[in-house]
């Protein structure tokens, strides 16, 4: 299905632009610019992947993987029965979903790529998405976000909103609707014969994934290098925790008189959450005697390998989306949908945001900024636009990225389940904004 949509975006963009004077030049320019931008995106993503996959390796070598498998085994067996609870894929999926729930999107991506890579090893039909892959993608693109969408809140603050945090509760409701819809669609669509697991259409398509997975599987995982037992490591761990706790307490005491309890909590979550996550991953390795630097380098190499594999997938999808936008075909779709969406309480001004969100995260973010600057952050249009931004993930980007990392050419019902999740998030965002803001 993703192949058909990608081809349709490209051909429709060119066909529509051919009838609009001067539009073909814009399409061509968008094609070249987006191809270059995709490479820049990968370059920017490499650093995050190398860093966070390295940190994950430190924590996993320190025993985090086994601990997560034990704690989450009951739920994991229900959601992913074909994945062993102590398998690296399970721990990576948990870390990815936890990061998404905390709003740490940058750190969630490396975990997700690692999870898909490990799931490929368990997949009996390489090149075709397994049930675990489809469900993981459905959850990933519709992840419930418990923490505030800090990027959107920052834009609302810059736009002069009287209450930038007002979208937190509507966003939480919308992401909950999105996740419920996506997971439900996964189970229902999986019963259809059309979406049953099947080998890829051609052997040529399956070869990259097969050769890579077999090569990795043939090399047994090396045991982590550990330091000799020593009491000083416990002192380092607990001493560091004590120091950070004192620093956090002092920061809280400084902010409380100025911002109050709620404002202080928001400030702490915004500025300290990422640092605390990094510290926790490192301390797990240090406390277990793992040579943290060596494990970091080993995990970082995996990030480089994954980054090299996803380049063609990213270029393909981002170029298609950019051409579709530049051709003006997106504006035609918005004009067609406007009478229907307005009848159910969705202003036409937010439709560009709703349609772009599954296609382009950066494009949707730019459109959101433009809309709230034009109409105001505290209008219904502004509230709904910001809530839609946080209601789901960039579906096509995530699918292209994650399926590419796993060498999958047949995503089965992953796209359909994710798009239904997007629709659920859209409906939830509209309902929540009408409920909270009238």
The pLDDT assigned to 216 comes to 39
> What's the pTM?
0.67
Q: Which tokens sit at 345?
A: 């309480």
DSSP assignment of 16-37 equals HHTTSTTHHHHHHHHHHHHHHH
Q: What is the gyration radius of the CA atoms in the chain, in angstroms?
A: 23
Say if residue 222's pLDDT is above 60.
Answer: no
Look at residue 400 and tell me whether its pLDDT is greater than 70: yes
pLDDT at position 318? 75
> Which tens digit of pLDDT belongs to each residue from 138-191?
998 887 777 677 678 877 887 888 888 888 889 999 999 999 999 999 999 988
pLDDT digits (tens, 9 = 90+) for 67-87: 765 666 677 778 888 888 778
**Listed range (29-43, 234-248, 360-374, 375-389) with the worst mean pLDDT:** 360-374
Count CB neighbours of 150 within 10 A: 17
Contact criterion met (CB below 8 Å) for 312 and 387: no
Rounded Cα distance between 150 and 156, Å, is 10
At 165 the pLDDT is 82
pLDDT at 2 over 90: no
The predicted pLDDT at position 416 comes to 92
What is the C-alpha separation between 389 and 105, in angstroms, rounded? Answer: 13
Indicate if the pLDDT at residue 412 is higher than 70: yes
What pLDDT score was predicted for residue 244? 92
| Residue 98 clears pLDDT 90, i.e. is over it | no
- pLDDT of 209 higher than 60: no
Q: How many CA atoms lie within 13 A of 315 on its CB side?
A: 12
What pLDDT is stored for residue 16 in this prediction? 92
pLDDT given at position 221:
46
CA distance 311 to 317: 10
Average pLDDT, the chain: 80
* pLDDT of amino acid 24: 92
Spacing of C-alpha 88 from chain mean position:
19
Measured CA to CA in angstroms, residue 133 lies from 33, 241, 286, 296 at distances of 32, 37, 32, 26
| Interval 99-117: pLDDT, tens | 777 665 666 777 888 889 8
State residue 212's pLDDT score.
37
Of the two residues 226 and 353, the one the predictor is more confident about is 353
């Amino acid at each position: 299905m993703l192949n058909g949509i990608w081809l349709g975006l490209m051909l429709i963009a060119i066909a529509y632009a051919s009838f609009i004077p001067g539009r073909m030049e814009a399409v061509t320019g968008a094609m070249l610019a987006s191809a270059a931008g995709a490479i820049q995106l990968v370059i920017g993503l490499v650093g995050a992947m190398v860093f966070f996959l390295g940190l994950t390796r430190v924590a996993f070598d320190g025993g985090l993987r086994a601990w997560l498998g034990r704690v989450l085994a009951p739920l994991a067996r229900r959601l992913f029965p074909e994945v062993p609870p102590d398998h690296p894929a399970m721990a990576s999926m948990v870390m990815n979903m936890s990061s998404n729930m905390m709003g740490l999107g940058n750190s969630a991506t490396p975990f997700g790529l690692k999870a898909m890579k490990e799931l490929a090893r368990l997949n009996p039909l390489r090149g075709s998405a397994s049930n675990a892959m489809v469900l993981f993608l459905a959850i990933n693109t519709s992840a419930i976000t418990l923490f505030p969408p800090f990027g959107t809140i920052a834009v609302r603050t810059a736009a002069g909103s009287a209450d930038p945090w007002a979208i937190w509760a509507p966003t939480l409701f919308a992401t909950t609707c999105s996740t419920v819809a996506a997971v439900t669609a996964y189970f229902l669509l999986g019963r259809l014969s059309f979406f049953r697991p099947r080998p890829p259409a051609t052997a040529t398509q399956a070869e990259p994934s097969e050769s890579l997975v077999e090569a990795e599987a043939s090399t047994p995982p090396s045991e982590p290098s550990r330091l000799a037992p020593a009491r000083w490591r416990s002192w380092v761990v607990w001493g560091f925790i004590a120091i950070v706790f004192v620093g956090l307490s002092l920061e809280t005491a400084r902010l409380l008189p100025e911002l109050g309890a709620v404002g202080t909590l928001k400030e702490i979550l915004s500025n300290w959450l990422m640092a605390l996550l990094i510290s926790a991953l490192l301390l797990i390795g240090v406390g277990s005697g793992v040579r943290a630097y060596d494990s970091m380098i080993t995990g970082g190499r995996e990030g480089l390998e994954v980054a090299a594999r996803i380049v063609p997938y990213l270029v393909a999808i981002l170029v298609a989306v950019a051409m579709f936008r530049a051709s003006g075909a997106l504006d035609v779709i918005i004009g067609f949908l406007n009478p229907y969406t307005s009848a159910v309480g969705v202003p036409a001004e937010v439709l560009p945001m709703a349609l772009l969100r599954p296609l382009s995260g950066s494009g949707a973010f730019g459109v959101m900024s433009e809309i709230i600057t034009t109409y105001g952050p505290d209008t219904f249009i502004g509230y709904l636009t910001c809530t839609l931004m946080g209601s789901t993930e960039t579906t096509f980007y995530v699918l292209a990225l994650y399926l590419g990392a796993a060498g999958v050419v047949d995503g089965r019902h992953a796209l359909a389940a994710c798009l239904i999740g997007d629709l659920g998030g859209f409906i939830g965002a509209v309902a929540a904004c009408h409920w909270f803001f009238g």
